[in-house]
């Protein structure tokens, strides 16, 4: 599933001008624990506050800085249609700054852009993408069974990261998640989540 998601992100960036700034090789995708009714979250890949001169340190994987980390939640795997899975990835990527520097687009945060308007933008992107998407890139998201995907073995800790410690490789492993796809006719609107206090602005829930 890791490879399928990366291929989809690369194709989304190539077909949608609104995501042309996205570099799939600099996005880490992992599976994570449940968080309310969220299907996924996105945050920057930077470690701690900027250093002197404003330079940021990022996690690295295979020699590349990871600008963003997308965490797919259990609902993405177990209670989504294929279209909802693609829409979730669109939703998270649309939060990324057009500078693609690990920050979130200021005008696309839910605090500034009402959720209903944001969702309408995402649905329009989804409609345009699915009209032109290669079927073989979308097919993995309608499957059933068990899929292999990266997970954190240990979460990165900014205070201990120096030099080679920025390498995310030793902190990751490939685990397995069940995949169960709902038929579109079974999809129901999600209950509106209770408003909760956000801990840090660099992470937004889908």
Q: What is the pLDDT of residue 193?
A: 46
Q: 62 phi and psi, to 5 degrees?
A: 55, 40
Q: Has residue 3 got a pLDDT over 60? A: yes
Classified as helix, coil or strand, 58 is strand
68 has a pLDDT exceeding 60: yes
89: its two tokens: 């990835």
pLDDT tens digit string along 122-174?
999 999 999 999 999 999 999 999 999 999 998 886 555 555 558 999 999 99
User: pLDDT tens for residues 70-87?
Assistant: 999 999 999 999 999 999
Question: Which of 116, 167, 174 has the alpha carbon at shortest distance from 146?
Answer: 174
Instruction: Show the CA angle centred on residue 165, arms to residues 159 and 171, nearest 5°.
Output: 100
187: helix, coil or strand?
A: coil
Q: Which pLDDT score, from 0 to 100, does residue 108 have?
A: 77
User: What are the backbone angles phi and psi of residue 124, rounded to the nearest 5°?
Assistant: -70, -40
* Strands 27-31 and 68-72, sheet pairing: parallel
- Separation in Å, CA 153 to CA 2, 25, 169, 173, 203: 16, 21, 10, 6, 20
Question: How do residues 16-53 score in pLDDT, each as one tens digit?
Answer: 999 999 999 999 999 999 988 899 999 999 887 666 66
The pLDDT of residue 202: 37
Query: Would you state the pLDDT for residue 201?
Result: 32
Helix or strand or coil: residue 103?
Answer: coil
- Looking at residue 163, its pLDDT comes to 52
């Amino acid at each position: 599933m890791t490879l399928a998601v990366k291929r989809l992100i690369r194709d989304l960036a190539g077909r949608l001008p609104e995501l042309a700034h996205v570099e799939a090789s600099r996005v880490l995708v992992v599976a994570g624990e449940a968080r309310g009714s969220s299907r996924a979250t996105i945050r920057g890949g930077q470690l701690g506050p900027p250093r002197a001169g404003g330079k940021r340190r990022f996690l690295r994987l295979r020699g590349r800085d990871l600008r963003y980390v997308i965490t797919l939640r259990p609902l993405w795997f177990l209670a989504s249609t294929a279209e909802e899975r693609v829409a979730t990835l669109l939703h998270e990527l649309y939060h990324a700054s057009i500078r693609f520097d690990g920050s979130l687009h200021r005008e696309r945060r839910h605090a500034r852009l009402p959720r209903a308007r944001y969702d309408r933008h995402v649905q329009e992107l989804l409609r345009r993408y699915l009209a032109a998407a290669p079927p073989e890139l979308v097919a993995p998201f309608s499957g059933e069974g068990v899929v292999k995907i990266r997970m954190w073995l240990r979460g990165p800790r900014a205070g201990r990261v120096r030099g080679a410690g920025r390498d995310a490789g030793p902190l990751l492993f490939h685990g397995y998640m069940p995949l169960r796809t709902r038929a579109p006719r079974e999809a129901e609107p999600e209950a509106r989540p209770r408003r909760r206090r956000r801990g840090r602005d660099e992470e937004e829930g889908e």
